[in-house]
Amino acid sequence: MSADGQGRSHWFDDEAGPVVRPYAMTRGRTTSAVQHRLDLIAVVVTEPDADDPETDPTLAPEHVEIVELCRRTPQTVAELSAELDLPVGVVRVLVGDLVDSEFVHVNRPVPPAELPDESILRDVINGLRAL
């Protein structure tokens, strides 16, 4: 591809990033059935009666980490991405797996245009004033 890569002994360099690509964790999948629900501020909540994820052989360590993180405090997709240092797209696939296997559920954010009334926006204003 680039001419300056030809003289090097390795086909990769620092710019290539980690040699194991993030999507290896998702076994190459870039979508999942629930993906359309996963906004960056969608909240992932571990099901209270979920089994111990460590004992499930189908789950990757990253799956287990998501289940544990969201058990203590529900986390948004953006927070999981930052916390696990994984691209958002990878987190979406992993969360999709966990929804399918009923370890977690996801709360989709309500678009402001669909809010039943203005009271939440007033609460936001009052909350900001009180900061």
Partner 1 sequence: MIFGRSERGKPPVEPVTLKILVAGGFGVGKTTLVGAVSEIRPLRTEELLTEAGRPVDDLSGVEAKHTTTVAMDFGRISLREDLVLYLFGTPGQERFWFMWDELSEGALGAVVLADTRRLQDCFAAVDYFERRAIPFLVGVNCFEGAPRYPVEDVRRALDLDDHVPLLLCDARDRESVKEVLIGVVEHAMRQAARHREALTT
Q: Interface residues with partner 1 (CB under 8 A)?
A: 1-2, 15-17, 22-23, 30-31, 35, 39-43, 45, 48, 71-74, 76, 78-79, 81-83, 87-89, 107, 109-113, 118, 120-125, 127-129, 131
Distances (CA, A) of 56 to 22, 36, 51, 59, 106: 21, 26, 8, 6, 20
The residues, ordered by sequence, that sit 6+ positions from 114 with a Cβ below 8 Å of its Cβ are none
Q: Which is nearer to partner 1, 8 or 57 (CB)?
A: 8
Closest separation in Å from C-beta 117 to partner 1: 10
Q: Which is nearer to partner 1, 11 or 57 (CB)?
A: 11
Burial state string for 42-77 with b = 16 or more CB within 10 A and e = fewer than 16: bbbebeeebeebeeeeebeebbbbbbebbbeebbbb
Closest separation in Å from C-beta 9 to partner 1: 19
Structure tokens at 129: 């004033």
Token pair 């927070």 is found at 79
Q: Which is nearer to partner 1, 1 or 3 (CB)?
A: 1
Closest separation in Å from C-beta 91 to partner 1: 9
Q: Which is nearer to partner 1, 57 or 111 (CB)?
A: 111
Closest separation in Å from C-beta 119 to partner 1: 11
CA atoms of 61 and 118, how far apart (whole Å): 42
